[in-house]
A and B are shown apart, each in its own frame.
Chain A
Amino acid sequence: MNTISVKNLKRIYKTTTGVIRRKTKEVEAVKDISFEISKGELFGLLGPNGAGKTTTTKVLTTLLIPNAGEVKINGLDIVKDANEIRKQIGFIFGGERGLYWRLSGIDNLRYFASLYHIEPEVSKKRIPYLLDLVGLKGRGDERVEGYSRGMKQRLHVARTLLHDPDILFLDEPTIGLDPVGAREFREVIRDLQAEKKTILLTTHYMFEADSLSDRVAVIDDGIIVALDTPSALKKHVRDLSVVEIETFGIAEIVVNKIRALPFVDAVSTREQDQRQVLLVQTERGAEAVPDLMKSLEGQRVGRVTVREPTLEDAYVRLVGGKS
Protein backbone atom coordinates (compact mmCIF):
# COMPACT_ATOMS: atom_id res chain seq x y z
CA MET A 1 0.00 0.00 0.00
CA ASN A 2 1.22 3.49 -0.85
CA THR A 3 1.66 5.88 2.05
CA ILE A 4 0.11 8.75 0.11
CA SER A 5 -2.39 8.32 -2.68
CA VAL A 6 -3.90 11.22 -4.61
CA LYS A 7 -6.48 10.51 -7.30
CA ASN A 8 -7.98 13.18 -9.55
CA LEU A 9 -7.61 15.92 -6.95
CA LYS A 10 -9.37 19.17 -7.75
CA ARG A 11 -9.49 22.33 -5.68
CA ILE A 12 -11.25 25.59 -6.53
CA TYR A 13 -10.99 28.90 -4.66
CA LYS A 14 -13.97 31.21 -4.64
CA THR A 15 -13.64 34.91 -3.98
CA THR A 16 -16.51 37.35 -3.66
CA THR A 17 -16.48 41.11 -4.11
CA GLY A 18 -19.09 43.79 -3.51
CA VAL A 19 -21.72 44.10 -0.79
CA ILE A 20 -25.03 44.47 -2.58
CA ARG A 21 -24.18 43.13 -6.02
CA ARG A 22 -21.91 40.34 -4.96
CA LYS A 23 -19.73 38.88 -7.66
CA THR A 24 -18.15 35.47 -7.23
CA LYS A 25 -14.96 34.56 -9.01
CA GLU A 26 -13.66 31.01 -9.20
CA VAL A 27 -10.02 30.07 -9.56
CA GLU A 28 -9.16 26.45 -10.31
CA ALA A 29 -5.88 26.09 -8.39
CA VAL A 30 -5.64 22.31 -8.83
CA LYS A 31 -7.42 20.89 -11.87
CA ASP A 32 -6.71 17.19 -11.88
CA ILE A 33 -3.77 15.73 -10.04
CA SER A 34 -2.95 12.10 -9.34
CA PHE A 35 0.19 10.61 -7.81
CA GLU A 36 1.28 8.09 -5.24
CA ILE A 37 4.14 8.15 -2.77
CA SER A 38 5.49 4.98 -1.23
CA LYS A 39 6.84 4.55 2.28
CA GLY A 40 10.24 6.13 2.86
CA GLU A 41 10.22 7.95 -0.48
CA LEU A 42 11.15 11.61 -0.92
CA PHE A 43 8.81 12.98 -3.52
CA GLY A 44 9.53 16.39 -5.04
CA LEU A 45 6.79 18.67 -6.32
CA LEU A 46 8.08 21.34 -8.69
CA GLY A 47 6.27 24.12 -10.42
CA PRO A 48 6.13 27.87 -11.03
CA ASN A 49 4.27 30.24 -8.70
CA GLY A 50 0.53 29.61 -8.75
CA ALA A 51 0.93 26.12 -10.22
CA GLY A 52 -0.96 24.49 -7.32
CA LYS A 53 1.91 23.14 -5.16
CA THR A 54 0.90 24.78 -1.89
CA THR A 55 -2.78 24.04 -2.47
CA THR A 56 -1.94 20.36 -2.97
CA THR A 57 0.16 20.38 0.21
CA LYS A 58 -2.60 22.07 2.19
CA VAL A 59 -5.14 19.49 1.08
CA LEU A 60 -2.73 16.72 2.10
CA THR A 61 -2.18 18.32 5.51
CA THR A 62 -5.98 18.43 6.13
CA LEU A 63 -6.12 22.24 5.99
CA LEU A 64 -8.22 22.41 2.84
CA ILE A 65 -11.15 20.31 1.71
CA PRO A 66 -10.83 19.14 -1.92
CA ASN A 67 -13.64 19.90 -4.34
CA ALA A 68 -13.25 16.53 -6.03
CA GLY A 69 -11.01 13.49 -6.02
CA GLU A 70 -9.79 11.05 -3.43
CA VAL A 71 -6.83 11.65 -1.14
CA LYS A 72 -5.64 8.96 1.24
CA ILE A 73 -2.80 8.87 3.71
CA ASN A 74 -1.93 5.45 5.12
CA GLY A 75 -5.32 4.32 3.79
CA LEU A 76 -7.18 7.03 5.73
CA ASP A 77 -9.45 9.50 3.96
CA ILE A 78 -8.31 13.12 4.17
CA VAL A 79 -11.81 14.47 4.84
CA LYS A 80 -13.42 11.76 6.98
CA ASP A 81 -10.35 10.74 8.99
CA ALA A 82 -8.62 14.13 9.29
CA ASN A 83 -8.05 13.80 13.03
CA GLU A 84 -6.38 10.40 12.78
CA ILE A 85 -4.21 11.61 9.88
CA ARG A 86 -3.07 14.65 11.90
CA LYS A 87 -1.42 12.35 14.44
CA GLN A 88 0.70 10.77 11.71
CA ILE A 89 1.87 13.81 9.76
CA GLY A 90 4.03 16.88 10.27
CA PHE A 91 4.38 19.91 8.04
CA ILE A 92 6.45 23.01 7.44
CA PHE A 93 5.30 25.90 5.31
CA GLY A 94 8.15 28.06 4.07
CA GLY A 95 8.91 31.45 5.57
CA GLU A 96 9.24 32.80 9.05
CA ARG A 97 5.58 32.65 10.04
CA GLY A 98 4.00 29.90 12.10
CA LEU A 99 5.89 30.50 15.35
CA TYR A 100 5.26 32.66 18.42
CA TRP A 101 7.96 35.29 18.15
CA ARG A 102 7.47 36.70 21.64
CA LEU A 103 8.08 33.29 23.19
CA SER A 104 11.35 31.42 23.52
CA GLY A 105 12.17 28.48 21.27
CA ILE A 106 11.61 26.08 24.17
CA ASP A 107 8.23 27.62 25.05
CA ASN A 108 7.17 27.32 21.41
CA LEU A 109 8.05 23.63 21.48
CA ARG A 110 6.39 23.09 24.88
CA TYR A 111 3.24 24.68 23.52
CA PHE A 112 3.11 22.57 20.37
CA ALA A 113 4.02 19.43 22.34
CA SER A 114 0.97 20.00 24.52
CA LEU A 115 -1.19 20.30 21.38
CA TYR A 116 -0.02 16.86 20.31
CA HIS A 117 -0.92 15.56 23.75
CA ILE A 118 2.69 14.68 24.52
CA GLU A 119 3.14 14.06 28.23
CA PRO A 120 5.32 16.73 29.91
CA GLU A 121 7.78 14.03 31.08
CA VAL A 122 8.26 12.97 27.45
CA SER A 123 8.52 16.50 26.05
CA LYS A 124 11.10 17.43 28.70
CA LYS A 125 13.46 14.88 27.13
CA ARG A 126 12.36 15.28 23.53
CA ILE A 127 12.71 19.08 23.30
CA PRO A 128 16.46 19.23 24.15
CA TYR A 129 17.04 16.26 21.83
CA LEU A 130 15.31 18.04 18.93
CA LEU A 131 17.02 21.36 19.59
CA ASP A 132 20.31 19.51 19.42
CA LEU A 133 19.24 17.69 16.25
CA VAL A 134 18.43 20.92 14.39
CA GLY A 135 21.49 22.78 15.66
CA LEU A 136 19.77 25.08 18.16
CA LYS A 137 21.40 23.67 21.28
CA GLY A 138 21.99 26.47 23.79
CA ARG A 139 19.66 28.90 21.96
CA GLY A 140 16.32 27.47 23.11
CA ASP A 141 15.85 29.98 25.93
CA GLU A 142 16.08 32.97 23.59
CA ARG A 143 13.00 34.63 22.17
CA VAL A 144 12.24 33.59 18.60
CA GLU A 145 12.11 37.22 17.45
CA GLY A 146 15.89 37.30 17.87
CA TYR A 147 16.46 34.21 15.70
CA SER A 148 17.79 34.41 12.17
CA ARG A 149 15.59 33.13 9.36
CA GLY A 150 17.55 29.88 9.22
CA MET A 151 17.17 29.36 12.98
CA LYS A 152 13.42 29.89 12.69
CA GLN A 153 13.26 27.30 9.91
CA ARG A 154 15.20 24.85 12.04
CA LEU A 155 12.83 25.50 14.94
CA HIS A 156 10.00 24.66 12.52
CA VAL A 157 11.66 21.32 11.87
CA ALA A 158 11.95 20.66 15.61
CA ARG A 159 8.28 21.60 16.02
CA THR A 160 7.16 19.25 13.29
CA LEU A 161 9.21 16.36 14.69
CA LEU A 162 7.86 16.69 18.23
CA HIS A 163 5.39 13.83 17.83
CA ASP A 164 7.82 11.87 15.62
CA PRO A 165 5.56 11.68 12.53
CA ASP A 166 6.33 9.17 9.77
CA ILE A 167 5.10 11.49 7.02
CA LEU A 168 6.40 15.00 6.44
CA PHE A 169 5.23 17.78 4.14
CA LEU A 170 7.87 20.42 3.48
CA ASP A 171 6.50 23.32 1.46
CA GLU A 172 9.40 25.39 0.12
CA PRO A 173 11.32 24.98 3.38
CA THR A 174 14.50 26.68 2.16
CA ILE A 175 12.82 29.74 0.68
CA GLY A 176 14.59 32.92 1.76
CA LEU A 177 17.48 31.11 3.42
CA ASP A 178 21.04 32.14 2.65
CA PRO A 179 23.13 29.52 0.79
CA VAL A 180 24.77 28.24 3.98
CA GLY A 181 21.44 28.04 5.80
CA ALA A 182 19.85 26.26 2.82
CA ARG A 183 22.71 23.76 2.65
CA GLU A 184 22.42 23.04 6.39
CA PHE A 185 18.70 22.62 6.00
CA ARG A 186 19.18 20.13 3.17
CA GLU A 187 21.42 18.15 5.51
CA VAL A 188 18.54 17.99 8.00
CA ILE A 189 16.26 16.72 5.21
CA ARG A 190 18.85 14.06 4.31
CA ASP A 191 18.92 12.94 7.95
CA LEU A 192 15.14 12.61 7.88
CA GLN A 193 15.41 10.61 4.66
CA ALA A 194 17.89 8.31 6.36
CA GLU A 195 15.29 7.74 9.10
CA LYS A 196 12.96 6.41 6.34
CA LYS A 197 10.42 9.21 6.74
CA THR A 198 8.04 9.63 3.82
CA ILE A 199 8.54 13.18 2.60
CA LEU A 200 6.73 15.41 0.12
CA LEU A 201 8.95 18.37 -0.72
CA THR A 202 7.85 21.33 -2.78
CA THR A 203 10.61 23.61 -3.96
CA HIS A 204 11.58 26.17 -6.54
CA TYR A 205 15.18 25.08 -6.47
CA MET A 206 15.99 22.47 -9.08
CA PHE A 207 19.29 21.60 -7.48
CA GLU A 208 17.44 20.83 -4.27
CA ALA A 209 14.88 18.62 -6.00
CA ASP A 210 17.59 16.95 -8.08
CA SER A 211 19.84 16.15 -5.15
CA LEU A 212 17.15 15.11 -2.64
CA SER A 213 14.18 13.61 -4.49
CA ASP A 214 13.65 9.97 -5.40
CA ARG A 215 10.97 11.09 -7.85
CA VAL A 216 9.79 14.49 -9.05
CA ALA A 217 6.40 15.66 -10.30
CA VAL A 218 6.37 18.84 -12.36
CA ILE A 219 3.10 20.67 -11.84
CA ASP A 220 1.88 23.52 -14.01
CA ASP A 221 -1.46 25.30 -14.09
CA GLY A 222 -3.05 22.77 -11.77
CA ILE A 223 -2.01 19.58 -13.59
CA ILE A 224 1.03 17.32 -13.47
CA VAL A 225 2.97 17.67 -16.72
CA ALA A 226 5.70 15.14 -15.90
CA LEU A 227 6.43 12.63 -13.16
CA ASP A 228 9.63 10.60 -13.02
CA THR A 229 13.02 10.25 -11.40
CA PRO A 230 15.27 13.33 -11.77
CA SER A 231 17.59 11.48 -14.17
CA ALA A 232 14.66 10.35 -16.36
CA LEU A 233 13.30 13.89 -16.45
CA LYS A 234 16.65 15.17 -17.62
CA LYS A 235 16.34 12.86 -20.65
CA HIS A 236 13.54 15.13 -21.87
CA VAL A 237 16.24 17.64 -22.75
CA ARG A 238 19.09 15.26 -23.59
CA ASP A 239 19.03 16.31 -27.25
CA LEU A 240 19.22 20.01 -26.40
CA SER A 241 21.89 22.52 -25.43
CA VAL A 242 21.36 25.65 -23.43
CA VAL A 243 22.71 29.01 -24.61
CA GLU A 244 23.04 31.49 -21.73
CA ILE A 245 23.14 35.13 -22.83
CA GLU A 246 23.75 37.90 -20.35
CA THR A 247 21.64 40.99 -21.16
CA PHE A 248 20.92 44.34 -19.53
CA GLY A 249 17.33 45.60 -19.44
CA ILE A 250 15.96 43.33 -22.16
CA ALA A 251 12.31 43.95 -23.09
CA GLU A 252 9.68 41.19 -23.05
CA ILE A 253 8.99 41.83 -26.73
CA VAL A 254 12.57 40.86 -27.60
CA VAL A 255 12.32 37.70 -25.48
CA ASN A 256 9.14 36.77 -27.36
CA LYS A 257 10.90 37.40 -30.67
CA ILE A 258 13.60 34.89 -29.70
CA ARG A 259 10.98 32.45 -28.44
CA ALA A 260 9.38 32.55 -31.91
CA LEU A 261 12.60 31.56 -33.72
CA PRO A 262 12.15 28.17 -35.44
CA PHE A 263 15.26 26.56 -33.93
CA VAL A 264 14.41 27.65 -30.34
CA ASP A 265 12.73 25.10 -28.11
CA ALA A 266 12.16 27.12 -24.93
CA VAL A 267 13.28 30.44 -23.43
CA SER A 268 13.35 31.62 -19.86
CA THR A 269 14.99 34.56 -18.08
CA ARG A 270 16.82 34.65 -14.79
CA GLU A 271 17.35 37.91 -12.90
CA GLN A 272 20.92 38.27 -11.68
CA ASP A 273 21.65 41.55 -9.88
CA GLN A 274 20.81 44.14 -12.56
CA ARG A 275 21.26 41.70 -15.43
CA GLN A 276 18.87 39.31 -17.07
CA VAL A 277 20.28 36.00 -18.21
CA LEU A 278 18.43 34.56 -21.19
CA LEU A 279 18.34 30.75 -21.15
CA VAL A 280 17.67 29.51 -24.66
CA GLN A 281 17.15 25.80 -25.26
CA THR A 282 18.04 24.68 -28.78
CA GLU A 283 19.12 21.57 -30.65
CA ARG A 284 21.68 23.63 -32.60
CA GLY A 285 23.86 24.44 -29.59
CA ALA A 286 26.79 26.79 -30.35
CA GLU A 287 25.69 27.06 -33.98
CA ALA A 288 22.60 28.97 -32.90
CA VAL A 289 24.61 31.77 -31.26
CA PRO A 290 25.12 33.98 -34.41
CA ASP A 291 21.38 33.87 -35.22
CA LEU A 292 20.49 34.63 -31.63
CA MET A 293 22.87 37.59 -31.58
CA LYS A 294 21.23 38.88 -34.76
CA SER A 295 17.87 38.87 -32.96
CA LEU A 296 19.46 40.77 -30.11
CA GLU A 297 20.78 43.58 -32.27
CA GLY A 298 20.51 46.93 -30.49
CA GLN A 299 20.48 45.24 -27.07
CA ARG A 300 23.30 45.45 -24.57
CA VAL A 301 24.71 41.93 -24.39
CA GLY A 302 27.36 40.52 -22.03
CA ARG A 303 28.84 37.06 -21.72
CA VAL A 304 27.50 34.17 -23.86
CA THR A 305 27.98 30.51 -22.85
CA VAL A 306 26.75 27.17 -24.14
CA ARG A 307 26.24 24.29 -21.70
CA GLU A 308 24.60 20.87 -21.18
CA PRO A 309 20.98 20.87 -19.90
CA THR A 310 20.09 20.34 -16.23
CA LEU A 311 16.90 19.34 -14.42
CA GLU A 312 16.04 23.03 -14.35
CA ASP A 313 16.09 23.11 -18.14
CA ALA A 314 13.88 20.05 -18.29
CA TYR A 315 11.52 21.83 -15.93
CA VAL A 316 11.55 25.01 -18.05
CA ARG A 317 10.74 22.98 -21.13
CA LEU A 318 7.92 21.16 -19.37
CA VAL A 319 6.25 24.32 -18.05
CA GLY A 320 6.77 26.22 -21.27
CA GLY A 321 9.39 28.69 -20.08
CA LYS A 322 7.31 30.27 -17.32
CA SER A 323 9.94 30.33 -14.61
Chain B
Amino acid sequence: MSIKNLFRYWRTVITVAEITLRHQWNDSFILFAVLIQPMVIAILALFMLRGTGDNYAMFVIVGSGLTGLWSSLLFISGNSINGERWQGTLEALVAAPLPFDVIIFGKNLANVVQSLLSMTASYLLAALFFGYSLEMTLPLLFFSSVLLSIFAFISFGLIIAPLFIMYRGIQQWQNAMEFPVYILAGFLFPIALLPGWTTPISYILPPYWAARALHETSTGAGDLSTIIFAWGMMLLFSFIALFVASKLFKLMLYKARVDASLNTE
Protein backbone atom coordinates (compact mmCIF):
# COMPACT_ATOMS: atom_id res chain seq x y z
CA MET B 1 0.00 0.00 0.00
CA SER B 2 1.30 3.46 -0.81
CA ILE B 3 1.69 6.10 1.89
CA LYS B 4 -0.33 8.41 -0.40
CA ASN B 5 -3.31 6.04 -0.15
CA LEU B 6 -2.89 5.84 3.62
CA PHE B 7 -3.23 9.62 3.87
CA ARG B 8 -5.99 9.78 1.29
CA TYR B 9 -8.15 7.12 2.94
CA TRP B 10 -7.28 7.69 6.64
CA ARG B 11 -10.94 8.22 7.51
CA THR B 12 -11.85 4.91 5.91
CA VAL B 13 -9.03 3.19 7.81
CA ILE B 14 -10.38 4.57 11.11
CA THR B 15 -14.00 3.59 10.31
CA VAL B 16 -12.95 0.08 9.23
CA ALA B 17 -10.90 -0.30 12.44
CA GLU B 18 -13.74 0.93 14.64
CA ILE B 19 -16.36 -1.33 13.08
CA THR B 20 -13.97 -4.29 13.02
CA LEU B 21 -13.41 -3.88 16.77
CA ARG B 22 -17.14 -3.75 17.44
CA HIS B 23 -17.74 -6.81 15.29
CA GLN B 24 -14.90 -8.83 16.79
CA TRP B 25 -15.68 -8.20 20.44
CA ASN B 26 -18.73 -10.37 19.97
CA ASP B 27 -16.40 -13.32 19.33
CA SER B 28 -15.00 -15.14 22.37
CA PHE B 29 -11.87 -16.26 20.45
CA ILE B 30 -10.65 -12.69 20.87
CA LEU B 31 -10.38 -13.28 24.61
CA PHE B 32 -8.17 -16.29 24.00
CA ALA B 33 -5.83 -14.68 21.45
CA VAL B 34 -5.58 -11.30 23.12
CA LEU B 35 -5.68 -12.12 26.83
CA ILE B 36 -5.52 -15.79 27.78
CA GLN B 37 -2.72 -17.08 25.54
CA PRO B 38 -0.26 -14.19 26.21
CA MET B 39 -0.96 -14.46 29.95
CA VAL B 40 -0.25 -18.19 29.94
CA ILE B 41 3.05 -17.50 28.12
CA ALA B 42 3.84 -14.70 30.60
CA ILE B 43 3.12 -16.93 33.63
CA LEU B 44 5.35 -19.71 32.28
CA ALA B 45 8.18 -17.31 31.48
CA LEU B 46 7.89 -15.45 34.79
CA PHE B 47 8.11 -18.75 36.69
CA MET B 48 11.14 -19.73 34.65
CA LEU B 49 12.82 -16.39 35.30
CA ARG B 50 12.00 -16.18 39.02
CA GLY B 51 14.81 -14.49 40.93
CA THR B 52 16.52 -13.08 37.86
CA GLY B 53 15.58 -9.45 38.52
CA ASP B 54 13.06 -6.84 37.48
CA ASN B 55 14.65 -6.18 34.08
CA TYR B 56 14.04 -9.76 32.98
CA ALA B 57 10.44 -9.51 34.13
CA MET B 58 9.97 -6.41 31.98
CA PHE B 59 11.55 -8.28 29.06
CA VAL B 60 9.03 -11.08 29.54
CA ILE B 61 6.08 -8.73 29.84
CA VAL B 62 6.92 -6.89 26.65
CA GLY B 63 7.76 -10.18 24.93
CA SER B 64 4.51 -11.91 25.89
CA GLY B 65 2.61 -8.81 24.79
CA LEU B 66 4.32 -9.08 21.43
CA THR B 67 3.31 -12.75 21.14
CA GLY B 68 -0.30 -11.66 21.68
CA LEU B 69 0.10 -9.01 19.03
CA TRP B 70 1.46 -11.43 16.46
CA SER B 71 -1.07 -14.18 17.26
CA SER B 72 -3.86 -11.68 16.95
CA LEU B 73 -2.63 -10.52 13.54
CA LEU B 74 -2.02 -14.01 12.27
CA PHE B 75 -5.19 -15.67 13.53
CA ILE B 76 -7.79 -12.93 13.77
CA SER B 77 -6.81 -10.99 10.65
CA GLY B 78 -6.25 -14.17 8.69
CA ASN B 79 -9.42 -15.82 9.89
CA SER B 80 -11.36 -12.66 9.28
CA ILE B 81 -10.63 -12.93 5.54
CA ASN B 82 -11.89 -16.50 5.51
CA GLY B 83 -14.81 -15.36 7.67
CA GLU B 84 -15.61 -12.68 5.09
CA ARG B 85 -15.52 -15.38 2.42
CA TRP B 86 -17.91 -17.62 4.38
CA GLN B 87 -20.37 -14.86 5.15
CA GLY B 88 -20.31 -13.66 1.54
CA THR B 89 -18.88 -10.21 2.28
CA LEU B 90 -15.46 -10.73 0.70
CA GLU B 91 -16.89 -10.10 -2.77
CA ALA B 92 -18.50 -6.86 -1.59
CA LEU B 93 -15.15 -5.72 -0.18
CA VAL B 94 -13.23 -6.63 -3.33
CA ALA B 95 -15.87 -4.98 -5.53
CA ALA B 96 -15.53 -1.69 -3.64
CA PRO B 97 -13.54 0.94 -5.54
CA LEU B 98 -11.15 1.37 -2.62
CA PRO B 99 -7.74 -0.39 -2.73
CA PHE B 100 -8.25 -3.63 -0.85
CA ASP B 101 -5.09 -3.21 1.21
CA VAL B 102 -6.58 -0.03 2.73
CA ILE B 103 -9.43 -2.16 4.12
CA ILE B 104 -7.03 -4.76 5.49
CA PHE B 105 -4.86 -1.99 6.96
CA GLY B 106 -7.91 -0.81 8.93
CA LYS B 107 -8.68 -4.35 10.07
CA ASN B 108 -5.07 -4.92 11.14
CA LEU B 109 -5.08 -1.60 13.00
CA ALA B 110 -8.06 -2.83 15.03
CA ASN B 111 -6.31 -6.11 15.82
CA VAL B 112 -3.03 -4.50 16.80
CA VAL B 113 -4.69 -1.91 19.02
CA GLN B 114 -6.76 -4.52 20.83
CA SER B 115 -3.64 -6.65 21.23
CA LEU B 116 -1.98 -3.93 23.25
CA LEU B 117 -4.29 -5.21 25.95
CA SER B 118 -2.02 -8.29 26.06
CA MET B 119 0.90 -6.17 27.13
CA THR B 120 -1.15 -4.31 29.74
CA ALA B 121 -2.53 -7.59 31.13
CA SER B 122 0.98 -9.12 31.37
CA TYR B 123 2.24 -5.97 33.08
CA LEU B 124 -0.49 -6.11 35.72
CA LEU B 125 0.08 -9.84 36.19
CA ALA B 126 3.80 -9.41 36.89
CA ALA B 127 3.27 -6.42 39.17
CA LEU B 128 0.29 -7.72 41.16
CA PHE B 129 0.85 -11.49 41.32
CA PHE B 130 4.63 -11.87 41.00
CA GLY B 131 5.51 -8.75 42.99
CA TYR B 132 7.94 -7.24 40.49
CA SER B 133 8.62 -3.54 40.79
CA LEU B 134 8.18 -2.53 37.18
CA GLU B 135 9.36 0.86 36.14
CA MET B 136 9.62 1.94 32.55
CA THR B 137 13.24 3.09 32.12
CA LEU B 138 12.53 5.38 29.16
CA PRO B 139 8.73 5.89 29.17
CA LEU B 140 8.54 8.51 26.39
CA LEU B 141 10.77 6.54 24.09
CA PHE B 142 8.85 3.38 25.00
CA PHE B 143 5.49 4.89 23.99
CA SER B 144 7.03 6.23 20.78
CA SER B 145 8.27 2.69 20.13
CA VAL B 146 4.76 1.35 20.77
CA LEU B 147 3.32 3.69 18.10
CA LEU B 148 5.98 2.73 15.57
CA SER B 149 5.52 -0.95 16.44
CA ILE B 150 1.79 -0.70 15.68
CA PHE B 151 2.72 0.50 12.20
CA ALA B 152 5.38 -2.21 11.84
CA PHE B 153 3.03 -5.04 12.81
CA ILE B 154 0.21 -3.78 10.58
CA SER B 155 2.59 -3.55 7.62
CA PHE B 156 4.02 -7.01 8.25
CA GLY B 157 0.50 -8.42 8.63
CA LEU B 158 -0.40 -6.99 5.24
CA ILE B 159 2.06 -9.36 3.55
CA ILE B 160 0.21 -12.36 4.96
CA ALA B 161 -3.35 -11.23 4.16
CA PRO B 162 -3.13 -11.81 0.37
CA LEU B 163 -2.31 -15.46 1.02
CA PHE B 164 -5.58 -15.82 2.90
CA ILE B 165 -7.45 -14.27 -0.02
CA MET B 166 -5.97 -16.71 -2.47
CA TYR B 167 -5.80 -19.95 -0.53
CA ARG B 168 -8.91 -21.09 1.28
CA GLY B 169 -7.02 -23.88 3.07
CA ILE B 170 -4.22 -21.73 4.47
CA GLN B 171 -5.69 -21.92 7.97
CA GLN B 172 -4.00 -25.30 8.34
CA TRP B 173 -0.63 -23.52 8.16
CA GLN B 174 -1.38 -20.77 10.64
CA ASN B 175 0.08 -22.61 13.65
CA ALA B 176 3.27 -23.28 11.72
CA MET B 177 3.61 -19.53 11.08
CA GLU B 178 3.12 -18.52 14.72
CA PHE B 179 6.20 -19.72 16.62
CA PRO B 180 8.90 -19.00 14.00
CA VAL B 181 8.09 -15.29 14.29
CA TYR B 182 8.10 -15.46 18.12
CA ILE B 183 11.57 -16.95 17.93
CA LEU B 184 13.10 -15.10 14.98
CA ALA B 185 11.85 -11.70 16.13
CA GLY B 186 13.33 -12.18 19.62
CA PHE B 187 10.07 -11.68 21.48
CA LEU B 188 10.95 -13.84 24.48
CA PHE B 189 14.74 -14.28 24.28
CA PRO B 190 17.56 -12.50 22.39
CA ILE B 191 18.22 -13.72 18.85
CA ALA B 192 21.92 -13.99 19.79
CA LEU B 193 20.98 -17.36 21.28
CA LEU B 194 19.95 -18.62 17.82
CA PRO B 195 22.31 -20.06 15.16
CA GLY B 196 24.11 -17.33 13.20
CA TRP B 197 22.43 -18.14 9.88
CA THR B 198 19.04 -17.07 11.24
CA THR B 199 20.18 -13.52 12.06
CA PRO B 200 19.69 -12.07 8.52
CA ILE B 201 16.14 -13.46 8.52
CA SER B 202 15.44 -11.71 11.82
CA TYR B 203 16.83 -8.44 10.44
CA ILE B 204 14.32 -8.26 7.58
CA LEU B 205 11.33 -8.77 9.89
CA PRO B 206 9.74 -5.47 11.06
CA PRO B 207 8.56 -7.23 14.29
CA TYR B 208 12.21 -7.92 15.18
CA TRP B 209 13.03 -4.19 15.16
CA ALA B 210 9.79 -3.47 17.00
CA ALA B 211 10.69 -6.01 19.70
CA ARG B 212 14.20 -4.61 19.93
CA ALA B 213 13.01 -1.01 20.32
CA LEU B 214 10.39 -2.02 22.90
CA HIS B 215 12.80 -4.18 24.90
CA GLU B 216 15.53 -1.53 24.87
CA THR B 217 13.23 1.30 25.92
CA SER B 218 11.45 -0.71 28.61
CA THR B 219 14.48 -2.36 30.24
CA GLY B 220 16.98 0.43 29.63
CA ALA B 221 19.26 -1.97 27.75
CA GLY B 222 19.89 0.44 24.89
CA ASP B 223 21.06 4.04 24.49
CA LEU B 224 19.41 6.69 22.33
CA SER B 225 21.51 5.91 19.26
CA THR B 226 20.65 2.17 19.24
CA ILE B 227 16.98 2.97 19.82
CA ILE B 228 16.89 5.45 16.94
CA PHE B 229 18.68 2.90 14.77
CA ALA B 230 16.02 0.29 15.66
CA TRP B 231 13.26 2.82 14.80
CA GLY B 232 14.90 3.59 11.46
CA MET B 233 15.21 -0.08 10.55
CA MET B 234 11.65 -0.73 11.73
CA LEU B 235 10.34 2.01 9.44
CA LEU B 236 12.53 0.95 6.52
CA PHE B 237 11.37 -2.68 6.64
CA SER B 238 7.77 -1.62 7.30
CA PHE B 239 7.76 0.47 4.12
CA ILE B 240 9.31 -2.43 2.23
CA ALA B 241 6.56 -4.68 3.65
CA LEU B 242 3.89 -2.20 2.49
CA PHE B 243 5.38 -2.13 -0.99
CA VAL B 244 5.62 -5.93 -1.21
CA ALA B 245 2.07 -6.26 0.19
CA SER B 246 0.63 -3.87 -2.44
CA LYS B 247 2.17 -5.97 -5.22
CA LEU B 248 0.97 -9.22 -3.60
CA PHE B 249 -2.55 -7.84 -3.18
CA LYS B 250 -2.75 -6.92 -6.87
CA LEU B 251 -1.43 -10.31 -7.91
CA MET B 252 -3.56 -12.36 -5.52
CA LEU B 253 -6.77 -10.42 -6.18
CA TYR B 254 -6.30 -10.90 -9.90
CA LYS B 255 -5.62 -14.60 -9.36
CA ALA B 256 -8.67 -14.89 -7.07
CA ARG B 257 -10.81 -13.38 -9.85
CA VAL B 258 -9.34 -15.85 -12.33
CA ASP B 259 -9.75 -18.85 -10.01
CA ALA B 260 -13.14 -17.75 -8.62
CA SER B 261 -11.97 -18.13 -5.02
CA LEU B 262 -13.64 -15.03 -3.56
CA ASN B 263 -16.69 -16.98 -2.52
CA THR B 264 -17.41 -20.40 -1.09
CA GLU B 265 -20.14 -21.13 -3.62
Contact = CB atoms under 8 A, between A and B. Distances in A.
Contact of A95 (B88, B93, B259, B260): B88
A296 interface: no
B258 A103 contact: no
Contact of B15 (A83, A93, A98, A110): A110
A257 interface: no
Interface in B89-103: 89, 91-98, 103
A293 B89 CA distance: 51
A168 to B, nearest CB: 13
Contacts of A98: 87-89, 91-92
Contacts, number: 81
A111 B15 contact: yes
B97 A116 contact: yes
B96 A115 contact: yes
Contacts of B97: 83-84, 86-87, 116-117
B98 A115 contact: yes
B9 A63 contact: no
- The range of chain A's interface size is 20 to 34
Contacts of A100: 19, 23, 87, 89
Interface in B63-89: 87-89
Nearest to A104: B22
B89 A99 contact: yes
B262 A63 contact: yes
Interface of B: 9, 11-12, 15-16, 19, 22-23, 26-27, 87-89, 91-98, 103, 254, 257-260, 262
5 contacts: A58-B91, A84-B97, A103-B22, A115-B16, A116-B97
Given A58-B91, A97-B87, A97-B89, 8 more contacts: A63-B91, A83-B97, A102-B23, A103-B23, A110-B15, A111-B15, A115-B16, A120-B11
Interface of A: 13-14, 58, 61-65, 83-84, 86-87, 91, 93, 95, 97-103, 107, 110-112, 114-117, 119-120, 159
